[in-house]
Amino acid sequence: MIGIVMKSTIKKLFGYSAMVLGSALVAGLTTYTLMEKNGVNETVVAVQQEGFAMPTALFDNKPAQPVDLTGAAENSVHAVVHIKSTQLGRTHTVQQMPDLFDFFFGDGMGRQQQVRTQPRVGFGSGVIISKDGYIVTNNHVIEGADEIDVKLNDNREYKGKLIGADPNTDLALVKIEGDDFSVVPIGDSDALKVGEWVLAVGNPFNLTSTVTAGIVSAKARSLGVYNGGIESFIQTDAAINQGNSGGALVNARGELVGINAVLSSPTGAYAGYGFAIPVSIMTKVVDDLKEFGAVQRAILGVSGYDLGDERTKDKDLGVVEGVYVADVTDGSGAKAAGIEPGDVIVNIAGKKVHNMAELQENIAKHRPGDKVEVTVVRGKKEKHLNVTLKNMQGNTEVVKKVELDVLGAAFKPIDDDMKRHLGVNYGLQVTGLDKGKLADAGIKKGFVILKVNGVKITSEDDLAKVLKEANQSPERALFISGYYTSGRRANYAVDLADGE
């Protein structure tokens, strides 16, 4: 009986197949009916999918499987470290207001008191990116630290050495001694898509090895938190709290796509969104710090704003996305290539530019001297221009890391007697001179530095900070003012680029 039914079934199937433009639905239903009689109805879905290439989701009644993030979490927690940064106590001189006793019996300037501040301790996270112990973290995690302590997920502890830092991107590179450390593989933040699953791994509130999950909510966000620095954040709803700074943002494959950096919240605690620096920026900064000790920052040489800004509202530009060029810097690569105010930048180095944050991110991947093609819309027509990127000094030379020893001098804060003698309440005295920038500028031993580039100098730390900032400025110069012990006031200019 079964053989007869199957024979009949085959005949019917061949009959339907022979019909010109036969209804696929009828064929499917007939197949279902015949196979049901033979007890094999569970294969119907596969037959329909082969015949019509229908998506499985339309027919498959199996429960959907969630994205498995356990592998990504397991791999990344071992390469995310806890960082403790300590700024040792400092001695400061506090000038008190003069009272009647000072007026009649003293010098009328008020008394001075030495105050010793308590050590300042901060906590954050870092990501091991190489087996020999290079760690990426945020600049604000280690800024001003005298000591850096690194604790691994397995509780091993190391002393960290600062290799270099870049306040403009809020990134820093730290090194611990050892080998064969667990690392997070570097991913491609450019390929990251909005809606993609990500994990934030770090040490919020000193809770080590904490993993939170979320999605990419947006890309190329600019928040204005870096005071003119480079901002093109990955926005995520994975929970990021205090202590997560410097930690890893990884994709579902466990690849590093960002360094967690900013928490946007009205309360200071997680309120829905966090922001990470994309690895496309991080990789370039790390390479520069390793090779040169300082970031080789390329600039295009334009200022402007996003289309959609109120300032472009009434302009008929022929394009709806891009960066409107308001001004072009003299001597810049943009000026030399022919970019003009009123142009709209829509593409750079083969990548579309939707806003200023994306433009900054793309430029940040390059070094001075790199040649890039920039596409602008001018008069509603596209123009392709070849631009040679330059640095802040308007050239393509390598900017080297500058330490205090380049000045060729020894320093000490002035004591109370010297303060009274000169009638000042702060200053840093040159106590010794060797070959270096200060001697070249004509400064003599005993000179008391009061200000450098308009900043009050009370310690070597103050001087080092101003020196670092000046080395990255267009002028690359120090303008120093102060007194000699004779009371003679003097001013000097120090050229940091001279002799390189």
Judged by DSSP in three states, 459 sits in coil
- Name the residue with tokens 């995520």: 236
- To the query of whether residue 170 is one of the catalytic residues in this protein, the response is yes
Collect all residues with Cβ–Cβ distance below 8 Å to 477 and sequence separation of at least 6: 470, 493, 494, 495, 496
- To the query of whether residue 417 is one of the catalytic residues in this protein, the response is no
- Name the residue with tokens 């093609």: 373
Query: What is residue 40's DSSP assignment?
Result: -
Q: What is the pLDDT of residue 2?
A: 40
- Name the residue with tokens 């620095």: 229
- Identify the active-site residue in 82, 85, 166, 170: 170
CA 70 to mean position of chain CA atoms: 26
Q: What is the pLDDT of residue 463?
A: 94
H and E: helices and strands count for the chain: 13, 27
Q: Which residues of the chain have pLDDT under 70?
A: 1-66, 91-114, 268-269, 498-500
Judged by DSSP in three states, 55 sits in coil
Using CA atoms, how far apart are residues 24 and 52, in angstroms rounded to an integer?
Answer: 8
Using CA atoms, how far apart are residues 203 and 246, in angstroms rounded to an integer?
Answer: 9
Burial class of residue 376, CB neighbours in 10 A (0-12, 13-18, 19+): buried
What is the model's pTM?
0.74
386 and 373 Cβ atoms separated by less than 8 Å = yes
Strand partners, 385: 374
Q: Could you give the strand order of the β-sheet that contains 157-159, starting from the edge strand earlier in sequence?
A: 157-159, 147-151, 80-87, 120-128, 134-137, 171-175, 161-166
- What is the sign of the dihedral through the CA atoms of 311, 221, 165 and 451? positive
Within 10 angstroms of residue 122's Cβ, the number of other Cβ atoms is 18
- Identify the active-site residue in 82, 140, 354, 366: 140
Q: What is the pLDDT of residue 24?
A: 40
Q: What is the pLDDT of residue 31?
A: 38
Using CA atoms, how far apart are residues 432 and 439, in angstroms rounded to an integer?
Answer: 10
Rounded to the nearest 10°, the torsion over CA 100, 103, 108, 114 is: -40
Q: Which of 477, 459, 460, 481 is nearest to 469 (CA)?
A: 477
- Identify the active-site residue in 125, 217, 222, 245: 245
Q: Which of 409, 413, 427 is nearest to 489 (CA)?
A: 427
Q: What is the pLDDT of residue 472?
A: 80
Judged by DSSP in three states, 157 sits in strand
- To the query of whether residue 85 is one of the catalytic residues in this protein, the response is no
Judged by DSSP in three states, 158 sits in strand
Q: Which of 132, 247, 228, 217 is nearest to 183 (CA)?
A: 132
417 token code pair: 């007697």
Within 10 angstroms of residue 19's Cβ, the number of other Cβ atoms is 10
Task: Tell me the angle at which helices 2-18 and 24-37 cross, rounded to the nearest 10 degrees.
Answer: 180
Amino acid at site 479: F
Query: What is residue 326's DSSP assignment?
Result: E
Burial class of residue 478, CB neighbours in 10 A (0-12, 13-18, 19+): buried
Burial class of residue 367, CB neighbours in 10 A (0-12, 13-18, 19+): middle
Amino acid at site 67: V
Question: 203 φ, ψ to 5°?
Answer: -130, 60
186 token code pair: 């570097």
